[in-house]
Amino acid sequence: MLRMFTEAFGQYLISRLSDMPEKPVVSYALPGAVPGRNALNIYMISMEEALELRTNEQRYEMRGLEWVASQPPLRLLCKYIVSAWPASGDPAEAALGQLRLLNAAYKVVAKLKTMPAASLPPELKEPGLPLPVIALVKDDLSSRPDFWISAGCSFHPAFAFSAALSLPVEQEQYDHVVEEVITDYYINGEPAR
């Protein structure tokens, strides 16, 4: 699911920037240049369950002669860093190209509230699941030199966004559901009438 969402998001972003003269490609590896290409790098830096977005209410529905309990989906909060990598060999032109790419990508992400359903693969459009929620977030990691050193490159400006994804949980089937409960009350050992 994470791979499908990340690839779908990358393709959505690149499709929105296809009219730029830079014609960027998308990269999902550690941040870094794509030789001979203008690139936007989308790199996931963290994921955790978003407990505040999850409900605990099960839904029951009849399928044939069986009751099926639908567990609420897990809500996963994924954080990504987006950086731009221009192909130009001229340092001044590369810096300006980087700013144009990053600015264009930032504007696309800033306008999103949810990932459009038309851009998602069928597995992420399961009925009853909310669409992935997209939000720009504060980024503490990409401003640290050790992050860029560990990626094997020099410092680059970047921005971060989060995506709240819904992950379906397996359904449980119940063969014998109690449909009626009869309770007898006794007073002094005698059934109450």
**pLDDT, average across residues 158-185:** 70
**pLDDT, average across residues 175-184:** 57
Q: How far apart are CA 39 and CA 83, in angstroms?
A: 8
Return the pLDDT at 155.
82
pLDDT tens per residue across span 50-64: 766 566 666 677 777
**pLDDT, average across residues 86-104:** 88
Are 101 and 20 spatial neighbours (Cβ–Cβ below 8 Å)?
Answer: yes
**pLDDT, average across residues 139-163:** 84
DSSP 173: E
Return the pLDDT at 119.
93
The domains of the chain are located at: 2-191
For residue 183, what are its two tokens?
Answer: 């309770």
pLDDT tens per residue across span 10-42: 999 999 998 888 889 999 988 888 888 999 999
Per-residue pLDDT for 172 more than 60? Answer: no
